[in-house]
Amino acid sequence: MEGIICQQFRPAVLSPLESARGSRASLATHLNLGEGHMPSYESSMRNLAKAKARWHPPRPWRSSQESQMIRRYVFQWLTCRDRNRPSGRAWARQLGISHTWLQKLLRQFLANPSEIQREVRRCGDPTFAQLNRAQVHTRRMRELEELRGSRLAKIAKFLRTS
């Protein structure tokens, strides 16, 4: 009796490549591309050349002055030997940067310490007034859309225009 019931049910379709009749269909047929549809090498190279011609470097996240100040503050944090030195994440949060960028700067400093030492000797220790001026400059540049905007700013701009 159980064998009869099991024979009446058809197996479920387990693959998108398998048609309702149970035969295998090719991926190209399933995606309605036609048999053997693949862009030619020449058309791929033309598209790549167009993309390279239109490419431009991405805009920075902050002004170069603010980036330099952050680099100097991170170096100051690195060379600090105080017992109350904050963690890397806390220091990054206070500077308004991601902890991963702080780690990237640390790797750069450890790989080439003479570069940052020259910069600190040339400019001196960073001050909060200098950092504030650099942040104001960054805000002005962002208002003029010379820098990348945040995702929230893009959403807010979209909502204002619609």
Task: Say if residues 121 and 132 touch (Cβ distance below 8 Å).
Answer: no
Q: How would residue 111 be classed by pLDDT, with cut points 50, 70 and 90?
A: very high
- DSSP characters for the chain? -HHHHHHHSPPPP--TTB-TTS-B--HHHHTT--TT----HHHHHHHHHHHHHH--PPPPSS-HHHHHHHHHHHHHHHH---TTPPPHHHHHHHHTS-HHHHHHHHHHHHH-HHHHHHHHHHH-S--HHHHHHHHHHHHHHHHTT-SPPPHHHHHHHHHHH-
Higher pLDDT, 146 or 118: 118
Quick one: what percent of the chain has pLDDT higher than 70? Answer: 77
Spans of all domains in the chain:
64-161
Higher pLDDT, 59 or 86: 86
Q: Please give the pLDDT value at position 160.
A: 83
pLDDT, tens digit, 9 for 90 and up, residues 25-46: 555 455 555 555 677 899 999 9
- Cα-only R_g, the chain: 29
Both tokens assigned to 19: 């048609």
Q: How would residue 136 be classed by pLDDT, with cut points 50, 70 and 90?
A: very high
Q: Please give the pLDDT value at position 99.
A: 93
